[in-house]
C-alpha cells in the first residue's frame, strides 16, 4: 500500500499529464489556438480525469 504522500504525488503527475494532453488536443481541434475555448475546456476535463486516474492507481497498488 502506498503512503498518502506517494498517492498525492501520483495524482499531481497524472493531473499534469492529462491536462497537458487535453490542452494539446483542444489546440489541435481549434486550429492551433492553444488559448482557445476547446483547449481550456479539454485541459479542465483532462485535469479531472487525471485526479480520478491518479487516485485509482494510487489506491490499487
User: What pLDDT, on the 0 to 100 scale, is given for residue 3?
Assistant: 81
Q: Which residue has the cell 499531481?
A: 12
- At residue 61, the pLDDT reads 60
Domain ranges within the chain, ordered by starting residue: 4-60
Q: Where are the alpha helices (DSSP H) in 1-61?
A: 4-29, 37-60
- What's the confidence (pLDDT) of residue 1? 60
Per-residue pLDDT of the chain (61 residues; tens, 9 = 90+): 668 888 899 999 999 999 999 999 999 998 888 889 999 999 999 999 999 999 999 888 6
Burial of residue 18 (number of CB atoms within 10 Å: 0-12, 13-18, 19+): buried
Amino acid at each position: 500500500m502506498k503512503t498518502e504522500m506517494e498517492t498525492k504525488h501520483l495524482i499531481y503527475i497524472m493531473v499534469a499529464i492529462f491536462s497537458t494532453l487535453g490542452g494539446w488536443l483542444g489546440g489541435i481541434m481549434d486550429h492551433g489556438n492553444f488559448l482557445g475555448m476547446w483547449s481550456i475546456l479539454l485541459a479542465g476535463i483532462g485535469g479531472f480525469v487525471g485526479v480520478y486516474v491518479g487516485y485509482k492507481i494510487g489506491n490499487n497498488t
